[in-house]
A and B are shown apart, each in its own frame.
Chain A
Amino acid sequence: AQSVTQPDIHITVSEGASLELRCNYSYGATPYLFWYVQSPGQGLQLLLKYFSGDTLVQGIKGFEAEFKRSQSSFNLRKPSVHWSDAAEYFCAVGAMGGTSYGKLTFGQGTILTVHP
């Protein structure tokens, strides 16, 4: 069975500081990995995805993530955080093929607070 762990429940950073959110996954085959962001009272918005190829993927809003198979990790990074980045972030893993693409296993989420 697949699983995702986000070790940090809550992270606080200052505006302009760099950010790294951790994600570790467990999956028997090649994983499809995603990062979603959720603002309060909103649905989830896709930040980026990894299916294959280059292990460093770029997403929207200046985010990037690096897939490291040897560490079973897919950490999300941003060089300089803006106050509008305050939200909850979810890492998710899925499988290939048909409806499996949408049958995601999500991590517990990391709440990001940004201090001015």
Chain B
Amino acid sequence: DTAVSQTPKYLVTQMGNDKSIKCEQNLGHDTMYWYKQDSKKFLKIMFSYNNKELIINETVPNRFSPKSPDKAHLNLHINSLELGDSAVYFCASSQGGLAGSTDTQYFGPGTRLTVL
């Protein structure tokens, strides 16, 4: 069984469209994340959720709206897509919130978004 899964794996769309990426983890973790990896391969955190509550929002445009219906899911909805949104988006999860623990993050396979 895949620990962290994302759908779709590839997403090609036109500028101005709205799209969603889904993420699910079956590890029983409390914390989930979204990262963006651009063409230069820099991996930047976008959001962190702990127990369905938003913890970190790294100055991401309002067009990006994460939704966590339960602890196992963190979906990413993007409105009015722009060319600069083209990137690979990774979802991750970790136990989280346990200071001093080995809070390993487990990443999904990524979703390659191409905005035309």
Please say whether chains A and B are actual partners in one complex: no
